[in-house]
Amino acid sequence: MTKRKNIAFWFLFTMILSISALDLYLIIRFQNVLIHEEKNIVGIWLIRLDSGSVALFSAVKMFGTCLSLMIWKKILISNQKYGFTIGISILAFQIFLFCWLLFF
Q: What is the pTM of this model?
A: 0.87
pLDDT in tens, 16-45: 999 999 999 999 999 999 888 888 899 999
pLDDT at 57: 96
Residue ranges in the chain assigned as alpha helix (H): 3-29, 31-37, 41-49, 55-78, 80-103
Give Cα 85 distance to the centre of its chain: 17
Rounded Cα gap, residues 17 and 35, in angstroms: 24
Question: What are the sequence ranges of the domains in the chain?
Answer: 3-96
pLDDT at 93: 94
What would the mean pLDDT of 82-97 be, rounded to a whole number?
95
Rg of the chain, C-alpha, whole Å: 16
pLDDT at 39: 86
pLDDT at 94: 93
